């Protein structure tokens, strides 16, 4: 029996795609090598915030099945690869998951199948990495026997305004015919389609989107540090600048960047630029600024405790927010990770509160979770606000019995200290 769609990789990108396909009536299956993910989905437990258990239940009722057997790929009309593309230990782009997924697809590829890569990667990945694996493993030719395209994911976890259906979808085909088949597929899922000249342009567009944010986040944080040195109120500067209705996009300073895309994608772009002999110096400078932000947080925390006559060593420090963004349980590359690491090195006893993150581990060691926020604030020697969760409201922060270091510039009060002086 044929399946309209098989999604490879059932994470933050793949599972919402599968959910959308089920919602429009496509027969859909998922393939993932993580047994815990597969078992949870089969039992009706979603590990992704954007796909609730009730929605997963509807998917299962509609016939969705998750599994670890790649044989399901041989029954697919369309295969979409949504596996992670992170970094190696030395910071180089890691395409091992893409290669492994492509090899699995190749072993079961049938003539007439559409294969789409959604994983973020360097320009040329679709044509130079995925295509050869598919052709060698299947004996079929892209653009003739099967169809190959790249369509970068634009999932923004926790965004209530923009989801898969109403976010424009960029599509780049290996050939015009490949682009035509990919456009027909995504036309059933997404309201607006944007056809790129080719796969490399689509790959580059995705890297540009996230590098734009990366560089501008670095810029606003460096401006905040400059304002500190000059005695300028950075919050007022940002408020005034944001009133301009054209030519300016507002960004806020904080403890750093997080998530799977923003801290990672510029590395893929920089690696390609270096290989082409055109290093992106602006991206390198932004990385320098952003890499030192968590240390700036811990230095300010240490200075705050010292000013209160308390040593950092042995102090109980409560982190408010472990996730990398508000309303999310995603801790990938969260600034909280290096903050915990540095505070531990300074001898502090670190615990965290986050209503969305039930467990938080750094370097293999669990960070104790504070289940009751008021009690945790009463017991802590210092609290550091890292994330803008709605539970951290102004009344609560204003009444906090312990000193609070606000890295987001949200609150004011007698016991609240802004990360950036004003």
Give the range of the structural domain holding residue 333, as residue numbers without chain letter: 293-418
Q: Are residues 126 and 62 in the same domain?
A: yes
Q: For residue 237, how far is the Cα from the chain centroid?
A: 28
**Predicted local distance difference test score (pLDDT) of residue 377:** 94
Proportion of the chain above pLDDT 70, given as a percent: 100
Asked if residue 117 and residue 225 are part of one domain, the reply reads no
| 382 shares a domain with 322 | yes
* Res 421: pLDDT: 67
Q: What are the tens digits of pLDDT across the range 307-331?
A: 999 999 999 999 999 999 888 888 9
**pLDDT tens figures, 265-295:** 888 888 888 889 999 999 999 999 999 999 9
Tell whether 283 and 301 lie within a shared domain. no
| Residue 17 and residue 119 in one domain | yes
Question: What pTM value is reported for the model?
Answer: 0.90
- Domain boundary among the residues 290, 307, 337 is at 290
Residues 405 and 300 in one domain: yes
Active site residues: 261
Q: Kindly report the number of other CB atoms within 10 A of residue 172's CB atom.
A: 28
Regions of the chain short of the pLDDT cut 50: none
Q: Which two tokens stand for residue 171?
A: 């599509």
Give yes or no: residues 13 and 127 share one domain: yes
Judgement on whether residues 175 and 163 belong to the same structural domain of the protein = yes
Residues pairing with 317 in the sheet: 350, 382
Q: What is the pLDDT of residue 90?
A: 76
**Same domain membership, residue 297 and residue 343:** yes
- Note the pLDDT of residue 32: 97
Q: What is the pLDDT of residue 259?
A: 82
Residue finishing a domain among 203, 238, 270 = 203
pLDDT value at position 50? 86
Q: Are residues 224 and 344 in the same domain?
A: no
Structural domain total, the chain: 3
**CATH label of the domain that carries residue 397:** 3.40.50.720
Helix (H, G, I), strand (E, B) or coil at 385: strand
Rounded Cα distance, 403 and 417, in Å = 8
Q: Do residues 186 and 309 share a domain?
A: no
Determine the pLDDT at residue 71.
96
Buried/exposed 351-373: b ≥16 CB within 10 Å, e otherwise: bbbbebbeebebeeeebeebeeb
Of 156, 178, 203, the residue that ends a domain is: 203
Q: Are residues 221 and 311 in the same domain?
A: no
């Amino acid at each position: 029996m044929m399946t309209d769609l098989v999604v490879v990789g059932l994470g933050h990108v793949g599972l919402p795609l599968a959910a959308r396909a089920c919602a429009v009536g496509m027969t859909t299956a998922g393939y993932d090598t993580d047994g815990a993910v597969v078992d949870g989905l089969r039992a009706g437990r979603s590990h992704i915030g954007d796909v609730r258990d009730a929605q997963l239940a509807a998917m299962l009722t509609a016939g969705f099945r998750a599994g670890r057997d790649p044989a399901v790929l041989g029954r697919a009309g369309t295969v979409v690869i949504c596996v992670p593309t992170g970094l190696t230990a030395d910071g180089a782009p890691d395409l091992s998951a893409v290669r492994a997924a492509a090899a699995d697809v190749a072993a079961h590829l049938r003539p007439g199948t559409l294969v789409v890569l959604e994983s973020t990667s360097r320009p040329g990945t679709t044509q130079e990495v995925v295509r050869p694996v598919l052709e060698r493993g299947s004996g079929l030719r892209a653009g003739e026997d099967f169809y190959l395209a790249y369509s970068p994911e634009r999932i923004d976890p926790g965004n209530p305004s923009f989801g898969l259906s109403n976010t424009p979808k960029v599509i780049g085909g290996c050939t015009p015919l490949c682009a035509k088949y990919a456009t027909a597929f995504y036309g059933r899922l997404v309201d607006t389609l944007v056809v790129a000249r080719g796969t490399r342009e689509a790959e580059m567009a995705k890297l540009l989107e996230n590098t734009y944010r990366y560089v501008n986040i670095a810029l606003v944080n460096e401006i905040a540090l400059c304002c500190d040195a000059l005695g300028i109120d950075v919050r007022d500067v940002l408020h005034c600048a944001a009133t301009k209705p054209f030519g300016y996009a507002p960004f806020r300073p904080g403890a750093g960047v997080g998530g799977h895309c923003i801290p990672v994608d510029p590395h893929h772009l920089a690696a390609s630029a270096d290989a082409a002999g055109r290093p992106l110096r602006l991206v390198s400078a932004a990385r320098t600024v952003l890499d030192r932000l968590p240390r700036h947080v811990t230095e300010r925390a240490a200075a705050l405790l010292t000013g209160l006559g308390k040593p950092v060593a042995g102090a109980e420090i409560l982190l408010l927010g472990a996730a990398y963004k508000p309303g999310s349980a995603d801790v990938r590359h969260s600034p909280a990770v290096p903050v915990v690491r540095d505070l531990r090195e300074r001898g502090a006893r670190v615990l965290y509160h986050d209503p969305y993150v039930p467990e938080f581990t750094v370097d293999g060691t669990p960070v104790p979770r504070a289940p009751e926020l008021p009690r945790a604030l009463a017991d802590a020697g210092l609290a550091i606000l890292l994330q803008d969760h709605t539970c951290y409201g102004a009344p609560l922060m204003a009444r906090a019995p312990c000193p609070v270091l606000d890295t987001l510039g949200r609150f004011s009060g007698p016991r609240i200290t802004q990360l950036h002086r004003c």
